[in-house]
Amino acid sequence: MPAGTYLHLGEGLEERFQCAPGPGGWRYVSRRSDGVRVDLVVDARWRQIRVEVVTPQWWIRGGLTGPEVTWVRAAGETGTEHGERAAGFLGDSPAFPISIARSLDLAEGGQADVRLVHLTGVSLSALTSMWRWRHTGTSIYETETAPLPVHEYEVTDLSTGEVSVIHLAGDVLLAAPGIELTDLESPPNVLQ
């Protein structure tokens, strides 16, 4: 079960995480040094079926229900229910790009445009927009146990034109803009 630490470079925050495949999918849990918690569960097709993000003042709980993402957002006990036609959530945690890339299952050179609900800031503001994901290549790195494939994705926010590049090895994000993997206690689960 991979566990380790990501550093959010802009804020200087650490995110301690654990992730593991289960009988019906995959789960990622983390806690940041500012108190933000993420719990993401995906099904066997990597669809986000349960998402919980908790900040010191706000929380969101939701998931994919058919062609829609539904969620409740609150600053206390009672919240407001929302729904959007989207493929899932995108947020600050590496959990989100991992699950989205895996759910798209793009062949090398393949691309897809997906509508995502982007959660931003400590208030967990939700903005729905289109994103283009392109699988630009795969590199193989030799390790002590087995070769490790590292997949590169180019991710474009179609509302702004901003392009970023991420690198995934199995179920671990190795590199992304503003995110640095600083510690990994066990190897990633290599996924087919």
Question: Which pLDDT value is given to residue 192?
Answer: 55
Q: What is the mean pLDDT of residues 92-114?
A: 96
127: left (phi over 0), alpha (psi -120 to 50) or beta: beta
Burial of 66 (0-12, 13-18, 19+ CB in 10 A): exposed
Q: What is the mean pLDDT of residues 120-147?
A: 91
Least confident of 21-25, 62-66, 107-111, 126-130: 21-25
Please, how many CA atoms are within 13 Å of residue 138, restricted to the half-sphere of its CB?
A: 12
The reply to whether the predicted model has a pTM over 0.75 is yes
Question: Which pLDDT value is given to residue 173?
Answer: 96
Reduced to 3 states (helix: H, G, I; strand: E, B; else coil), residue 34 is coil
Q: What is the mean pLDDT of residues 5-26?
A: 92
| 80 Cβ contact list (under 8 Å, min separation 6) | 72, 73, 74
Question: Which pLDDT value is given to residue 146?
Answer: 79
